Every structure is written in C-alpha cells, then in structure tokens.
Amino acid sequence: MKQLWIFVIILVPLISCAPQEKASSITTRTLVEKYGYPFEEHSVQTSDGYILGLHRIPYSARVNYDGQRPVAFLMHGLLCSSSDWVLLGTENALAFILSDAGYDVWMGNARGNTYSKDHATLHPLLPKFWKFDWHEIGMIDLPAMIDYVRYETGEEQVHYFGHSQGTTSFLVLNSLNTKFKSRIKSAHLMAPVAFMENMKSPLVKLAAPLLGNPKSWMNIFGNLEFLPNTRIMELLGQKACHDASKYQSMCSNVIFLMAGFDDENMNKTLIPEILATTPAGASTNQIFHYLQEYNSGKFREFDHGKLLKKPKDYPIEKIDVPIFLYYSENDYMSSEVDVEKLMRKLKESTLRGAHKVPHPRWNHLDYLWGLNINEQLHDAIMEDLDTINNE
C-alpha cells in the first residue's frame, strides 16, 4: 500500500503540469480505423462558443450497409472521452457492438476534454474557458450534439447511452427541459450518478470536506483544467504498465482506488491504451460539483456560496423518457444505495428496467473495460434495446 501512495503522489502532479500540446498519439480515429471501420469527425459549436468534437461510426465494416439506420448516441463519463467506447475492440466495445447490430453510432465529447478544447473566442489557457461544470454539459452540450446528429441523419429520435457523468448530464437535461423527451427513444444509463451520499471512494471522502464546501475552496482555486490527456501518460503506460512490467499491479491499483477494487475483471493488457487516452481532461468545477453532491446528499445545481441564491434540486420526478439503469455492488462512485434512491425518485412509467450486474466485484470502470463485459452488461443492454424497438 505504501508503494501505491508513492505512485499516486508522483503521478498526479505529473499529469496536472504536463504540457497541454503534447497529447497522446492514440485517438478514437486510430482505434476505430485499426479495425477497418469507417470513421467521421464532426464539430458542433454550442450557444456559448465551445466547439465540441463528435465522432461517428456510420456503419459496420462487417455489414457494410450505409443506408438509413437508427441512431445510437454514446456519452462518456468524467475525465473520459469517445475513445473509451472503442478501446475493447470489435468483439467487446459497445460502439462496435451497436454498429454491427445496425445502428448509426455517434460518440459525444464534453467541453474541455481531449477532443473539445476549442472555443470561438476563448483559449484553453484562460481560466474563463474552464468556467463550467456538468450542469452546462447537460443543458448546453448534449442538446447541441444530439440536435446536430438528428439534423445530419434525418432521424427524429436517438437511443442514448451514458456512463457516469454521461448519466448525470442526461438527468440534468431531461429534468429541466422536459420537452427534450421527443428527441430520445430510450436511455441506457450505466453506473448512474445523481445522488452520491453513500459513495465509497476514499479519494472523494478525503477531498469532500475541503473542496466540496464552496466557502472553503472559492478563494483558493479558480477555474482550472484538471488532468488533461498527455503524451506523458501514454509513455508511462508503455514503460511501466505493460504485461511484463513489475509495476503493472501498481498501475491497476491506482485505477482501483478511484473505481473499486476488482482484480478479476480488470483487463490489465489494456492498461497502456487506457492510460494513453484517459484521463482526457475536465474542469475543476466538475469535480467540485460532485464533491458538493457527496456532502449534501442532494442532486442539485452548483452551489456558488451566494447567500441569496441557493442551489435548486434537479426535479428528477419530471423526467419522462424510457430509462434503463445498470448498476453494480462494488462501484465506488455509484453506490447501490444511491442508485436505489434514484429509482424511487423516477416515475414508474419512466423507469423501464434496472439491472444489477451479476459479478459482485464489478466496479465503476468495468462498464468500459471489464473482462466478460458482454455477458455482464452488454447482453442486457441489447435485450432492452430490442424491447423498445419492438413496441
């Protein structure tokens, strides 16, 4: 354990201070094209000037049919990117599975991550660029990307797939903009994060008392970038985390510390590619907002510490979209108790299914990179999709 903490102490400053321009050479494009699938890059400008990267697998290399197809829109979690949906390869990555099943697959990227670091007027080196949290991702980024996809494809509705923060932002949007339901045919939320009072992450428990209190951090931290994607991480993965490395167990333990310990399901061979693409960057305010959720036990707007402007709870009970939830027992970030609280808040007609992953050690990141992921997760997702499509 002492080795683990030394590794964390050295690694975190290294990532945070890494030069911004030296990003990893492994990208969503290289990962998709490696398997012979078609790939498209699109850009969407939001109403407040952020230019978001949208990635598309228009049709399957195996099926080779490029006609009209239903749309699957995938949205990543905190510090992640579109790359996470394709890292596991053609047999196990959700983006490829949906493509082979006949879906037009689009993968979003939230403002500030590796593929969405441009702005009409602001440079990422300016603190003002980073003045946002996942509320803006839900209320501005998601509608901009989904409406662009609908326009490009001619499809009125999309099937939405979100992991972690991709579930949070979806719940924000659909609780505050109930008219958006007409654009969503079904929503599949993996490791859903809304209420966080019972989360088990030791890092969150350590940070929340200081950084989850607006009065304590407002005068210390400004608007900053947190853990950008760098070439240094790619080199670290190649040198220290490969199968023959004596340090590989430390690499996986750093991941477990955040997500939940699960040595059985960790695809350790994939660690170098994981570190080359993740973390993908975020705003510090995204982190602070989650820490506030942990402290308050509420699912509510960002607390700016203003006495006359208290944060409002997100009205989850107003959501009117067919939702399927997928959760697990060993998730440090999305506890079973908090997911059950979310279930009780959702309308009975809205919550169409809730699946607990069978494996008792399944953690927060196994939803992206876990071994036996089809048996544990994807088979249930595809069955739920069939249920909706057959109605």
Catalytic residues: 164, 364
C-beta separation of 229 from 277 below 8 A = yes
- The b-or-e profile of 87-113 (16+ CB within 10 A means b, else e) is bbebebbbbbbbbbbebbbbbbbbbbb
Closest-CA residue to 334 (of 224, 247, 252, 260)? 260
C-beta separation of 285 from 133 below 8 A = yes
Question: In whole angstroms, what is the distance from residue 237 CA to residue 242 CA?
Answer: 7
**Do you find a cis peptide bond into 279, omega within 30 degrees of 0?**
yes
Question: In whole angstroms, what is the distance from residue 47 CA to residue 141 CA?
Answer: 9
Phi, psi (rounded to 5 degrees) for 5 = -70, -35
Note the helical H segments in the chain.
2-16, 28-33, 94-100, 134-136, 142-153, 165-176, 202-211, 214-217, 231-240, 248-259, 271-277, 284-296, 336-345, 366-369, 373, 379-389
H helices, E strands: number in the chain? 16, 11
Task: Name 68's Cβ contacts closer than 8 Å, sequence gap at least 6.
Answer: 153, 154, 155
